[in-house]
């Protein structure tokens, strides 16, 4: 019998440049840098999108929303996540929980954790308790530590929706 549970992993990186804020988990955070990307460059929502799509084995974010398609330029990542979540639900899966990590030297993410968890849960229509978020600096080394990049990872657990 196939397993009633599936795990998925998502990872994403965006380049940083001087600017006026980051969108993380659908929440605008004041900062002296911005993330560069074809969409709104929400690295956390992109990692979450790939985690749930991977768990359901139905593609990845680049396949669903190619960056060659002008329709995806500046697109709201929450909108892409909603579409991905709908596909996951159509495939017969329910999101049990997400556990995420943001890799950023700055800004401090913890003060924004509650707002981000709430927003992600709202976009997915799941309990805030089912979304956890952590953050790590780059310890001052590498592209994360030098604030040249921001990254995020997410693991998602899906359960068969019977
Ligand atoms: O202490 P350790 O080296 O394990 O981790 P760190 O990268 O120095 O981060 C220490 C703590 O700061 C993390 O556990 C988070 O609680 C917080 N943090 C944060 O709020 N925002 C970041 N961008 C990075 C870390
Ligand atoms: Zn991305």
**Residue 68 burial class via C-beta count within 10 angstroms: exposed 0-12, middle 13-18, buried 19 and up:** exposed
- Which domain, by its residues, includes 109? 5-160
Percentage of residues of the chain with pLDDT beyond 90: 90
Tell me what pLDDT residue 154 has.
99
Report if pTM > 0.85: yes
| Nearest residue by C-alpha to atom 8 in ligand 1 | 137
Say yes or no to pLDDT of 72 above 90.
no
Structure-token pair, residue 46? 């992109």
Tell me what pLDDT residue 73 has.
82
Average pLDDT score over residue span 94-121? 98
Q: How does pLDDT run across 126-162, given as a tens digit for each residue?
A: 999 999 999 999 999 999 999 999 999 999 999 999 7
Q: Domain holding 18: CATH number?
A: 3.30.1330.50
103 CA: nearest ligand 1 atom: 23
Pocket test for ligand 1, best of 136, 138, 145 (most atoms within 8 A of CB): 136
Higher pLDDT, 49 or 38: 49
Q: How does pLDDT run across 16-47, given as a tens digit for each residue?
A: 999 999 999 999 999 999 999 988 899 999 99
138 CA: nearest ligand 1 atom: 7
CA of 29, nearest ligand number: 1
Average pLDDT score over residue span 3-22? 97
Tell me what pLDDT residue 69 has.
86
Cβ(159)–Cβ(4) below 8 Å: yes
Structure-token pair, residue 65? 């929303």
- Whether ligand 1 lies within 6 angstroms of the CB of 29 is answered as no
Strands (DSSP E) contained in the chain are 5-18, 22-24, 27-29, 33-36, 93-103, 131-136, 149-160
CA of 10, nearest ligand number: 2
Cα gap 61→54, rounded to integer Å: 10
Query: Could you give the C-alpha distances from 127 to 31, 96, 157, in angstroms and in order?
Result: 28, 9, 14
- Whether ligand 1 lies within 6 angstroms of the CB of 108 is answered as yes
List, in order, residues 6 or more apart from 20 with CB less than 8 Å away: 30, 31, 32, 34
Cβ(77)–Cβ(106) below 8 Å: no
Tell me what pLDDT residue 87 has.
98
The count of domains in the chain is 1
Q: pLDDT band at residue 75, thresholds of 50, 70 and 90?
A: confident
Cβ(13)–Cβ(101) below 8 Å: no
Q: Tell how far the Cα of 3 is from the centroid of ligand 2, in angstroms.
A: 30
Tell me what pLDDT residue 114 has.
98
């Amino acid at each position: 019998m196939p397993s009633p549970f599936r795990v998925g992993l998502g990872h994403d990186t965006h380049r940083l440049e001087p600017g006026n804020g980051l969108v993380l988990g659908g929440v605008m955070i004041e900062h002296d840098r911005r993330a560069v990307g074809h969409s709104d460059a929400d690295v956390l929502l992109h990692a979450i999108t790939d985690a749930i799509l991977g768990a359901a084995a139905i593609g990845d974010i680049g396949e669903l929303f190619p960056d060659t398609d002008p329709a995806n330029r500046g697109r709201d990542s929450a909108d892409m996540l909603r579409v991905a979540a709908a596909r996951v639900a159509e495939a017969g899966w329910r999101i049990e929980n997400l556990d995420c990590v943001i890799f950023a030297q700055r800004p401090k993410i913890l003060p924004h954790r509650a707002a981000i968890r709430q927003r992600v849960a709202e976009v997915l229509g799941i309990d805030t308790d089912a979304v956890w978020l952590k953050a790590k600096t780059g310890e001052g080394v590498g592209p994360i530590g030098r604030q040249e990049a921001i990254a995020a990872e997410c693991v998602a657990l899906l359960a068969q929706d019977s």
